[in-house]
Amino acid sequence: MIANTGVFAALAVLLTFVKAELPYPLLPYLKFDLAEVPITLLLFLQGPIPSLIAAVIHWIALSVARGWVLGPLMKFLAVVPMILGNWIGIETFRRVFQKPNLTVVLVVGSVFGALFRILATSATNIIVLLWVAPDFLKFAGSTLRALGLVVGSSQEVLLWTLLLTGVFNGLHVLLSAAIAVFIVRGAAFKIPWVAQNAWMFHRPK
């Protein structure tokens, strides 16, 4: 477990540094970071604890390498609720329903992960935009106006930013989960022992 956690954490850091990203047109300063895929993949393979450890390693590495606390911290505070939401959703659904369909289980987990992440990031964004770094709110307002949205007051800018950021975070969870599931299913088809040992395939006792 320790070796796998280190490998996936290192892969997450590497993907961040090579800028493996996809644009989010509604708020161009946000990117779909493919570095979250290894962390999600580790969750499905070995469970929430290794995934959380990898997220911590990723956070520390980014903070040290970039010399900037806020950005990596915001990323960490988005990833952790996603992991916890997936774990709670998957475990709850599997225990309530006998022999549930794996695809349905993972969809439920992703929905919980998205919900937890959206709630957590909305709270942290309110704190950052209103008190920690209010200049970011002005920048967000300029970005929204450049997109053609009519926003006047700071409250309107905040609401639109939270709404579009919430959509981004929900889509980010679904994208990471979809790629991770595709990889795990492909590996399980080629290497049967993956299916036998992966956390996502385990049934609760």
DSSP 115-132: HHHHHHHHHHHHHIIIII
> Is a pLDDT exceeding 80 seen at residue 189?
no
The CATH number of whichever domain residue 168 belongs to comes to 1.10.1760.20
pLDDT of residue 3: 85
The residue written with tokens 């952790």 in the block is 80
pLDDT greater than 90 at residue 168: yes
- pLDDT beyond 70 at 172: yes
CB atoms within 10 A of CB 111: 18
pLDDT bin (cut points 50, 70, 90) of residue 36 is very high
pTM value > 0.85: yes
Mean pLDDT of the chain: 91
Q: Which two tokens stand for residue 134?
A: 């209010």
Number of domains the chain is built from: 1
Does residue 160 contact residue 149 with C-beta atoms inside 8 Å?
Answer: yes
Question: pLDDT by residue (tens digit) across 101-136?
Answer: 778 888 999 999 999 999 999 999 999 999 999 999
Closest CA to 52 of 21, 18, 12: 12
Note the pLDDT of residue 67.
86
Stretch 57-64: mean pLDDT: 95
> Which range marks the domain in which residue 94 is found?
2-201
Mean pLDDT along residues 45-67: 94
| CA–CA separation, 8 and 119 (whole Å) | 26
Is the model's pLDDT at 21 over the cut of 90?
yes
DSSP letter at 69? S
Beta carbons of 82 and 58 less than 8 angstroms apart: no
